[in-house]
Structure 1
Amino acid sequence: MMRTDRKDLVQQVPRWWLPAVAGSLIVLGCGGGGGGGGGGGGGNGGGGAGENGSVPPVAEVQPWLKGTFAGGPVSGLNYSGSATGARTTDADGQYEYVAGETLSFSIGALPLGSAAGFGSLSPLSISEGAASTADPQVINKLVLLQTLDADGDLNNGIQITDVVRDTVSKYATALDFKQSSTAFRTSLTKLLADLEQAKAFTDLDPRARTARTAAAAQEQFIRATSARQVVTTTGGSLRGFESSPSTWQFLGIPYAQPPIGDLRWRAPLPAKPWNGVREATAWSDQAAQTTALERFGEGGMSEDSLYLNVTAPKSASKLPVMVWFHGGGFTSLTSNTKPFNNAKALVTQGVVQVAVNQRLGPFGYIAHPTLSAESGYGGSGNYGQMDLIMALQWVKANIAAFGGDPDNVTIFGESGGGRKVLSLMASPRASGLFHKAISQSGTLIPDTRTLASAEAIGLALQKRLNATSIEEMRARPWPEVVAAAATLVPYTNIDQHYLPNSERVSFESRTHNDVPFLGVVNTNDTVDPIQTAKSVFPWMAQYSVSPHYTALFSQVPGGWRTRGVQTYHSGELAYVFNAPESVVTHYLLDLVIDPATNKKLVIGDLNGNGVTGSAGDTQDILTSAGIDGVDLQAVQNSMAIWTQFARSGSPTVPGLVDWPTYTPATDAYVELGATPLVKSGFSNVFP
C-alpha cells in the first residue's frame, strides 16, 4: 500500500498538570495578585488561603513540543535549551523543546549551531546566515554528519555514538565549518583515523572510512528533505522521496540478508523485517569488486549489497514493471547509477522500474567441492543468479504497493546484464517470475560450464588465498578475495539447482521460460554479443512458442557520428535511459572506438583548460559527442519501444514502427537509428 506521508514533525505532547508532579512542570506566571479587600471569612474580600485572603492562580503549563533533526534523521546529537536542559536526540532523531526556546546543537564539544525550536531543524536552519545548502558551512556540516554515521547505512538514519562524540570533542577547536569543502574534508583525515583506531564504525567495508563528498552529502540532504511517500511492504514500511514532480523513488531497499560471514557463498535468505519506517533515500553499497570501479556508481562498496531501487509514477496503478540488471560481465559495475534510476526516463512512459544489485565475481559465481557438499543439492556457485531470483520474488510480493503489476514483469539488461537475462530464461527456479525479456548485447553460451570445471576455479581461488578451508576463505576480507580472483572468470554452471541442465538442454527440451523476447545488438558490438546474435538468437527462436524480435542499434551521438564512430558496446544505454551524458562513462570505460584506428577515440582539449578528453576531461568528452536533435528523438523512440514491449509483449509502436516477429525463415529485424527501419537479412548484418 502506498500513501502520502502526512506525519506532522511537530507533535504537541502536553504533560497535564497534576499536583503530584507539579514540581516537574515548566510553569509560567507563578506569582499572583491580591484578590479582595481585606477582612476575614464572610467579608467582602471572600475567604482564601492567601495572606490577604486571595486564591493562588492556577499554574500555566507550557506543553512540550517534539521536532526532528532532518536530513538523516540524526540520533545521538547533543542539544540544549534554557528550559530543556542538556540532552541528545533519540533513536528517531527527535528532540523536545518548548515554544519560544532556542536550541543549540553540537557533537560533543563541537558546536553546530542554534535556532529557535521548531518541528524540523537541520544543518541549514541552524547555520547562521546560511540561505541554502550551497553555503560552505552547511555543506561541511552535512559532510561531517553523514561521514560519522556509525553503521554507514543512511537509510537507518545517522547514528552518532558515544565514542564518536568523545572523539569529535577532541577536535572541537580544529574544525572550521566556514572553509572550503575540499579543505574541510582534508581536515577530517586525522579525526577519521582516530575513529578507525577506536573502532567507532560498524559497517561491513573493511577499508578505512573516508569523508563524504560535498556533492553526495548535498544530494542526500535534498532527497531526505523533499516531499515524502510511505509504502508498506512484506518487510516493513519504507519512506521514499519525490525524485521529480511526477515520480516517487525508493533507494536501497533490502531484498535479502547481507551475504556475509557464514552466509558468504550460500543461497540468499529473505531480508529480515524491520520495525517502524525505514528511510529509502540513500544509495546502498555497490557489490564488492575491483575498487577502481567504485567511481562509476553511487554509494559505497561492500558485500552488503543485496538491495534494489524502485522508481514509480505518482499515479501508478497496476503498471507494467521493468526490472533492470546492469552490465559489467558477471564481475563488475552496479545498478546504482543516476542514468539507471532516471526519473525522467522509462517511468515517464507509464511503467514502474526496478534496478537490482546482486553478488558479483568470486562472491556471486565461485563453486567449490566443499560448498557443493554442504549445499544440500550437490552443487555450488550461481549465487548471483539466485540473488536475482530472490529480487524477482520480492517484486512479485511487493511491487503492487508501488503501483506495479506483478503479473506483467519484464526483465532487461545490457552486456553482462543481458547474459543474466538469457540465463534466467533457462532456469526453472525463475519460472513465473517474469513475463517478457530483453537482452541488450547479451551473450549466451548454450553449453554451460560443468560443475567440475566451476569447482576447479574455486579450488584455484583457495590456493591463491593460501587458505586451508572454506571457513578460512569465508573469513578473508572481501578486498583480499577480489584481488586473488583478479584473473579468474567465474560465471554460471550446471549446479543441479539453479541450472539442473545446460542452457542448451533447457531450450532444446522446451523447458525454458518461454516468454516474448527482444534481442538487441549494436553495429560495432564486441565479439560475443555479435556471435550470440548470429547463432544463438535463431537457435532460441526455433524452440520458442512466444514471439521473438531482433534489433540492430545503430544510433550514435552526432559529433561522433561525423567522425565515423559506429554504435559501440553499451551505446544504446544513453538512449534507453534518456541519459545522453552517460556517454562520458562509456568513453572512460574505453568503449568508444575510432574506426580508423580500431582504438579508443582520441579527444583533444576542446575547452582550453589544458586537459584533453583523452586524459579524462568530462566536458571535452561530452562536447566531442555532440548530442543533437536527432539523438534526442532517438531517445524518445527508444523509450517508447522498450516500454511498449514491456506493456504488450510486442515492440510495435503505432505511428513509429510496425515490428515483424523474427524467425530464422523471415530473418526480419529493425534497425534503430535516427528513425526505426524494418529490414530483412539479419543473418547477413555481421560477416
Structure 2
Amino acid sequence: MHYQNRTGAARFLATSLATAVLAVSLGGCLSSGGGGGGGGSTTPAPNPLQVSTQQGDYIGIEEAGMRVYRGIRYGVAERFASPEFPPAHEEAVQLSEAFGSACPQNASPFGEASVDEDCLFLNVYSPEEPGDYPVMVWIHGGAFIYGSGGASYDPRHLVERGVVVVTLNYRLGALGFLPHAALGNANFGLQDQQLALRWVQENIAAFDGDPDNVTIFGESAGGHSVMSQIASPAAEGLFHKAIIQSGAYNGTQLPLAAGQYAFARETLAQLGCTTADDLLSCLRSQTVEDILAAQAGNYLPVTGTPTLPVSIIEALATGEFNKVPVMSGSNLEEGSLFTLLALADEDDALRVVLAPGVSDTIKDASYASSVATLLEENPALDTQQIASDYLARFATLPAPDKYIAAHAAIGTDWRFNCPNSTQWELLKDQVPTWGYWFTERNAPALPGLAAPFPLGATHTAEIQFVLSSNETLTERGATEDHLALAEHMASYWTNFARYGDDPAIGPNGTDGSGSLPAWDPVSDAGFVNNLVAPTPTASSKAAFDIAHQCGYWNAPPVLPEEDVLPQ
C-alpha cells in the first residue's frame, strides 16, 4: 500500500485518541502520601514501599489499595539514537503522585503539549499484599504522535485481581519514528518499548511481579506496537503473552525506503535538512518545536530495520514471529469516531452532507470525495465504486444519516475489523488465540466527544472498561450493566495474563463459579467473544466477517491498472 503525508490520509491514526478520550481528572482518587519519611539510609525500620532496582532505590506511595511508583526513569537517549538504561543513583528517590514528563508532542485536544525529550518514564502499580504476580505492561495509543502512560489510565480493576501493571512512555512522532536510511534503525519508539520491557525483566521482581509471566497489551497505535513487538526478533523473550485492542490495521506496514518518502520527505524539506551533508547533525541542531511543527500527521513503524526486519503480516504468514498466546479484537463501530472527526475537519468534503439546502447530487459527490480521502493511501482502490456500494447498504436512511453511516462503516470494515479477521486466521493455528468483538453500543460517553449522531461501539470505547475505575465510569453515565461488563472484561484480561499459555483455561480462569461466560479460542469453528453489557456472549467469527463485509474486502473493487496514477 502507498501512504501519503496528507492530513486527510493520516487522520484515521492521528486521532487515535486513546490518551485524549480517557484523560479525566483523577482528583479524589489520589492519596497525598503513605510513603513514610525520607531516604532509606536514615529509616530505622524497613519501609515496605521502598524497592531496590538495578538503577537504585525508589520509595512509592499507597493509593486506592495499591503500591504506586510513578515517574521511574527507565531509559535515556540522545536524539535519533537507541535508548540505554540510565545511570544508577545512590540515594533513594521518593516518588509522588506526579508522573514523569510525556514525550514531545504538539498541543491538541488529545493531550498536553510537551517539548521535554527526557521522557522515558514508566509507572508501576502493585497489589498491597506481597506475592508473585503476573505482569501486564500497557503501551498507549495515539497515532504514534500523541499520548503517554500517565493519568489517562487507572489500572486498579486489574491490580485488585492480582497483577502488577506497568504503563510507559515512548518517543513519538518524528523523534520516535522518522524513517531514513541515514538514521539507521529508525524505529526508536519501538526500541524504547523494548528497553522498558528489559527494565521489567531486570527489576519487576522487586515490585512482586513475575518476570517470567509478562503480558504486553495496548490499543490502536499501542495495539499496533504490540503486534510489531510480536514480529520483532529483538523482542524475543521480553514478554510471554499479548493483547491487541484495535491494533490490527496496516499490518503490511512500509519498507524503509517507502516510509522515508511517505513520512520523512516533507519533514526534512521543512527543516532544511534535505541537502545536508550530515543529516543527523542537521536534525540534532533543530529545536523540538520546529521538529514537531514539521512532522507528519501520523507514523507507522517501518520494516527493513534491525528492530523490525519484516512486516507484521509477513512475520505471521511465514511463522517467523515471537510465538506467544494472543488475545485480540476490535469494536463494532470503530470508524464512527473518525467520521465525527471528518465532519469537524474544515478541509473534508463530508461536512457538506450536514449543510442545509444542499442538493442530494452535491451531497453524493461530497460523500464520495470524502471516501476517496479516507482510502487514498491505496491508489489502486476504486473509491467511487466502494462509496456507491456502501451507500446502497444504507439507502433507506434519510440524509445525512445514510452518508454518515456509510462513511463510518467503510472506516470500520476496511481499516480495522477485516484486518483483525485476517490476523486471527494467521494466528489461530500457530499460537493459542482468543478473539473478541466489542459491541456495547451504549457505552458511557467519552469526554469531549459530543457528536451529532450516535457513535455506538466506537474506537477507544472499550478501554474504559479495562483501565478506568467504577467511579469514573459512573461519572460518565455508566449503568449497573456497564459496571458488570467492566467486571467481566477486567477478569478476562487478568485471567489471560495468568493462564493464557493454557488453551484449556485462557481468559476464563479457574474459579469454577460460572459467573464468567466461557470464551473459546478462535478455531476452525470460529468463535469470538461478543463483549456486550451486561454479560458477554459467544458469537461466530462468520457473523463478525459478514457484519463487516470481509468477503468484500478480501477482493475489493480496484481500478484498471492503467488508471492507477503513479505515486
Q: What is the TM-score when the length of structure 1 is the normalising length?
A: 0.57
Give the count of matched residue pairs: 415
Corresponding residue to 1:349 among 148, 158, 161: 161
Secondary structure of 1:317's counterpart equals coil
**Paired amino acid for 1:400:** A
Offset from partner CA, 1:295-352 (integer Å, 9 cap, x none): 569xx65211111000000214221100001111111111111x5144x321001000
Quick one: structure 1 residues 652 and 684, their matched pair in 2 at CA, closer, same or farther if it must change by over 3 Å? farther
2:437 corresponds to 1:552: yes
Quick one: structure 1 residues 493 and 683, their matched pair in 2 at CA, closer, same or farther if it must change by over 3 Å? same
Quick one: structure 1 residues 347 and 219, their matched pair in 2 at CA, closer, same or farther if it must change by over 3 Å? closer
Asked if structure 2 preserves the Cα contact closer than 8 Å seen for 1:449 and 1:492, the reply is yes
Secondary structure of 1:405's counterpart equals strand
Counterpart mapping for 1:328-367 below 5 A: 328-337=142-151, 339-342=152-155, 344-367=156-179
Asked if structure 2 preserves the Cα contact closer than 8 Å seen for 1:364 and 1:382, the reply is yes
Larger RCO of the pair (alpha carbons < 8 Å, separation 6+): 2
Q: Equivalent residue for 2:120?
A: 306
Q: Equivalent residue for 1:242?
A: 62
Moved more, 540-549 or 427-436: 540-549
Counterpart mapping for 1:491-570 below 5 A: 491-526=300-335, 527=411, 531-543=415-427, 544-557=429-442, 565-570=455-460
Asked if structure 2 preserves the Cα contact closer than 8 Å seen for 1:288 and 1:360, the reply is yes
Quick one: structure 1 residues 536 and 466, their matched pair in 2 at CA, closer, same or farther if it must change by over 3 Å? same
Q: Equivalent residue for 1:636?
A: 487
Q: Equivalent residue for 1:253?
A: 72
**In structure 2, C-alpha distance between the alignment counterparts of 1:529 and 1:277, rounded to whole Å:** 51
**Paired amino acid for 1:401:** A
- Identity among equivalent positions (%) equals 29
Asked if structure 1 preserves the Cα contact closer than 8 Å seen for 2:412 and 2:548, the reply is no
Secondary structure of 1:311's counterpart equals strand
**Paired amino acid for 2:437:** L
Deviation at 1:432, TM superposition (A): 0.9
Deviation at 1:559, TM superposition (A): 7.0
Quick one: structure 1 residues 419 and 627, their matched pair in 2 at CA, closer, same or farther if it must change by over 3 Å? same
Q: Equivalent residue for 2:548?
A: 686
2:481 corresponds to 1:668: no
2:285 corresponds to 1:460: no
Offset from partner CA, 1:231-273 (integer Å, 9 cap, x none): 00011101111112x310000111111x3xxx11111111211
Offset from partner CA, 1:566-617 (integer Å, 9 cap, x none): 111111111112336767xxxxxxxxxxxxxxxxxxxxxxxxxxxxxxxxxx
Quick one: structure 1 residues 535 and 444, their matched pair in 2 at CA, closer, same or farther if it must change by over 3 Å? closer
Deviation at 1:224, TM superposition (A): 7.4
Deviation at 1:486, TM superposition (A): 4.3
**In structure 2, C-alpha distance between the alignment counterparts of 1:265 and 1:271, rounded to whole Å:** 17
Corresponding residue to 2:92 among 277, 281, 286: 277
**In structure 2, C-alpha distance between the alignment counterparts of 1:216 and 1:668, rounded to whole Å:** 37
Asked if structure 1 preserves the Cα contact closer than 8 Å seen for 2:34 and 2:62, the reply is no
Q: Equivalent residue for 1:44?
A: none
2:257 corresponds to 1:406: no
Deviation at 1:530, TM superposition (A): 6.0
Q: Equivalent residue for 1:422?
A: 227
Deviation at 1:291, TM superposition (A): 2.1
Q: Equivalent residue for 2:341?
A: none
2:81 corresponds to 1:266: yes
Asked if structure 2 preserves the Cα contact closer than 8 Å seen for 1:247 and 1:311, the reply is yes
Corresponding residue to 2:288 among 457, 464, 478: 478
**Paired amino acid for 2:72:** I
**In structure 2, C-alpha distance between the alignment counterparts of 1:412 and 1:504, rounded to whole Å:** 19
Quick one: structure 1 residues 429 and 631, their matched pair in 2 at CA, closer, same or farther if it must change by over 3 Å? same
Q: Equivalent residue for 1:289?
A: 105
Deviation at 1:632, TM superposition (A): 1.3
Secondary structure of 2:520's counterpart equals coil
State the superposition RMSD in angstroms. Answer: 2.8
Deviation at 1:447, TM superposition (A): 2.4
Offset from partner CA, 1:270-306 (integer Å, 9 cap, x none): 1211111012223100110112357569xx6521111
**In structure 1, C-alpha distance between the alignment counterparts of 2:482 and 2:36, rounded to whole Å:** 32
Quick one: structure 1 residues 642 and 334, their matched pair in 2 at CA, closer, same or farther if it must change by over 3 Å? same
Quick one: structure 1 residues 235 and 494, their matched pair in 2 at CA, closer, same or farther if it must change by over 3 Å? same
**Paired amino acid for 1:463:** A
Quick one: structure 1 residues 302 and 580, their matched pair in 2 at CA, closer, same or farther if it must change by over 3 Å? farther
Asked if structure 2 preserves the Cα contact closer than 8 Å seen for 1:525 and 1:569, the reply is yes
Deviation at 1:445, TM superposition (A): 2.6
Moved more, 263-272 or 498-507: 498-507
Secondary structure of 2:431's counterpart equals coil
Corresponding residue to 1:382 among 187, 205, 223: 187
Quick one: structure 1 residues 224 and 483, their matched pair in 2 at CA, closer, same or farther if it must change by over 3 Å? farther
Secondary structure of 1:320's counterpart equals strand
**Paired amino acid for 1:549:** W
Quick one: structure 1 residues 565 and 470, their matched pair in 2 at CA, closer, same or farther if it must change by over 3 Å? closer
**In structure 1, C-alpha distance between the alignment counterparts of 2:183 and 2:443, rounded to whole Å:** 51
Quick one: structure 1 residues 675 and 483, their matched pair in 2 at CA, closer, same or farther if it must change by over 3 Å? same
Quick one: structure 1 residues 314 and 683, their matched pair in 2 at CA, closer, same or farther if it must change by over 3 Å? same
Asked if structure 2 preserves the Cα contact closer than 8 Å seen for 1:265 and 1:363, the reply is yes
Deviation at 1:518, TM superposition (A): 0.8
Secondary structure of 1:287's counterpart equals coil
Offset from partner CA, 1:15-74 (integer Å, 9 cap, x none): xxxxxxxxxxxxxxxxxxxxxxxxxxxxxxxxxxxxxxxxxxxxxxxxxxxxxxxxxxxx
Corresponding residue to 2:518 among 642, 651, 658: 658
**In structure 1, C-alpha distance between the alignment counterparts of 2:444 and 2:54, rounded to whole Å:** 49
**In structure 1, C-alpha distance between the alignment counterparts of 2:95 and 2:230, rounded to whole Å:** 31
Q: Equivalent residue for 1:317?
A: 131
**In structure 1, C-alpha distance between the alignment counterparts of 2:319 and 2:227, rounded to whole Å:** 14
Asked if structure 2 preserves the Cα contact closer than 8 Å seen for 1:393 and 1:433, the reply is yes
Which residues of structure 2 form unaligned runs of 5+?
1-24, 38-46, 336-410, 447-452, 501-505, 550-567
**Paired amino acid for 2:518:** D
Deviation at 1:668, TM superposition (A): 0.8
**In structure 2, C-alpha distance between the alignment counterparts of 1:312 and 1:660, rounded to whole Å:** 30
**In structure 2, C-alpha distance between the alignment counterparts of 1:529 and 1:238, rounded to whole Å:** 46
Asked if structure 1 preserves the Cα contact closer than 8 Å seen for 2:330 and 2:420, the reply is no
Moved more, 403-412 or 490-499: 490-499
Q: Equivalent residue for 1:434?
A: 239
**In structure 2, C-alpha distance between the alignment counterparts of 1:652 and 1:461, rounded to whole Å:** 48
Rg (Cα) greater in structure: 1
Corresponding residue to 1:572 among 441, 458, 462: 462
**In structure 2, C-alpha distance between the alignment counterparts of 1:447 and 1:549, rounded to whole Å:** 22
**In structure 1, C-alpha distance between the alignment counterparts of 2:222 and 2:71, rounded to whole Å:** 19
